[in-house]
Structure 1
């Protein structure tokens, strides 16, 4: 019998309470030493990823997260039988324990910040002109004009990146007090200023959200997407063999699931 895997928890005890998995299947905890794998039986491969199935998967992870520390596994992970599951748990046991200890009582929050990239660059050009810096214009040879244009493109791009760095420093000031770890990507596109995830202790969740509200109030001209608390998908670290707990599937599915979260400052 194949087993559908939801996550690894910091307990080998049986599951209590009413919690159901994909297609209403009963879930159980398969123990290995002092950890466990949350699974349900599955009779067929998952041929189509639906939002309903993703939400059923996430409901199990969130339900377990309310009572245990969980290392969430990406959607669609199927193990070929109990013996293979136990073999995998033996192989990864040390790393599972390290991650469970590090991520205990911590949650993930996502923050995206959107700015009007073209408008920001226009403002940079305007500021250059006001400071008396001469922008490239007609005249001179084609080669000289080309070199001047490339030079100013570089200047504008450098200032554009510098503005992004200054805003990220502001985020660090506000969030650094409450986040134990962070992963920040800058300017994935011209308009996506920041795409970040933060690991926050359970008792600091309210402080983190309050810090976000301060940032949003101080910079109302930007748009913000705030989601969480989530299981710590982005902070599970496995270095041995193929990582079962990470993958591109999680990113796109989480984008769909985030429709259930607050999207603040965005016209929907």
Structure 2
């Protein structure tokens, strides 16, 4: 996504927006120089309207509108940039609440970034208030493989072919039942976690190639949790895992609150982003 300025045709670099934080004193902002941005150089702060946007210098021959369209189709390039972008957002989140920008949000200059802060100040301040003292935690639930339930006595009347069909039908029925039970267990786990979290959200289950786990994922939840409630939340995840032995629960985090920021800063022109 690129905000194109027609009045600056000679511009060669833009500003890749990582996220927005509260205004801070100069000493605190100086620590940003220790964080590497997407270009390998330090990120910098753009202050306006009592807020700070953290940006990287973005050469427009790589991050301008047309190059960005092409590069977003390059999975190797996309992974490298996404990792660099996340590393900055994660570093900011360790310092306090941050509103993460959408991946590939690029402005042609710092003035445009400042304009975004001023125009969306109320939304951004509300988002930062909502995230203060809270963190995002992920809970993934994987189906525990069940043992085969085929009996040796199924090869009765009807011959080998009939016995095979009976075994196959029994296998499919058992698999469907396990999946239904796992789905119900995932619903119960999510509901219980939402009662303790400030808010919860279910994402689509990840493909096995992305999760790195051979078992099917049936729960991909994100939960915004108060810091004070975190010990109880972790304890609840453990107890729910024992209560639902058909699911293997995995707790991850804390993460920057990607899942709970509706008003994320983005420019006027959208050129596309990964789905």
Give me the TM-score of the superposition, normalised by structure 1. 0.66
Cα distance in 2, alignment partners of residues 34 and 180 from structure 1:
27
The answer for the alignment partner of 1:138 in structure 2 is none
Q: Which has the higher contact order (CA 8 A, sep 6+)?
A: 2
Q: Quote how far apart the aligned CAs of 1:81 are.
A: 0.8
Q: Which runs of 5+ in 2 are unaligned?
A: 1-12, 64-70, 150-172, 208-214
Change (3 A) 1:212 1:57: same
Cα distance in 2, alignment partners of residues 72 and 50 from structure 1:
17
The answer for the alignment partner of 1:3 in structure 2 is 15
| Structure 1 position 81 matched with structure 2 position 109 | yes
Q: 2:62 aligns with which of 26, 40, 45?
A: 45
The answer for the alignment partner of 1:57 in structure 2 is 85
Q: Could you say what secondary structure the match of 2:96 adopts?
A: coil
Q: Could you say what secondary structure the match of 1:22 adopts?
A: coil
Q: Could you say what secondary structure the match of 2:202 adopts?
A: strand
| Structure 1 position 34 matched with structure 2 position 50 | yes
Query: How large is the Cα RMSD of the aligned pairs?
Result: 3.8
Change (3 A) 1:24 1:114: same
Asked whether the 8 Å contact 1:113–1:222 carries over to 2, the reply is yes
| Structure 1 position 71 matched with structure 2 position 71 | no
Q: Quote how far apart the aligned CAs of 1:235 are.
A: 0.5
Change (3 A) 1:217 1:160: closer
Change (3 A) 1:96 1:114: same
Q: Could you say what secondary structure the match of 2:30 adopts?
A: coil
| Structure 1 position 231 matched with structure 2 position 259 | no
Asked whether the 8 Å contact 1:12–1:30 carries over to 2, the reply is no
The answer for the alignment partner of 1:108 in structure 2 is 136
Could you list the per-position Cα deviations for residues 83-111 of structure 1 after superposition, in whole angstroms to 9, with x for gaps in the alignment? 22122222221111111111112111122
Q: Quote how far apart the aligned CAs of 1:197 are.
A: 0.8
The runs of 4+ residues in structure 1 deviating greater than 4 Å are 156-163, 185-191, 239-244
The answer for the alignment partner of 1:184 in structure 2 is 202
Cα distance in 2, alignment partners of residues 243 and 107 from structure 1:
29
Cα distance in 1, alignment partners of residues 125 and 99 from structure 2:
10
Cα distance in 1, alignment partners of residues 178 and 240 from structure 2:
22
Q: Which runs of 5+ in 1 are unaligned?
A: 124-152, 252-268
Number of residues of Structure 1 aligned to a counterpart in Structure 2: 219
Asked whether the 8 Å contact 1:12–1:33 carries over to 2, the reply is no
Q: Could you say what secondary structure the match of 2:39 adopts?
A: helix
Cα distance in 2, alignment partners of residues 234 and 240 from structure 1:
14
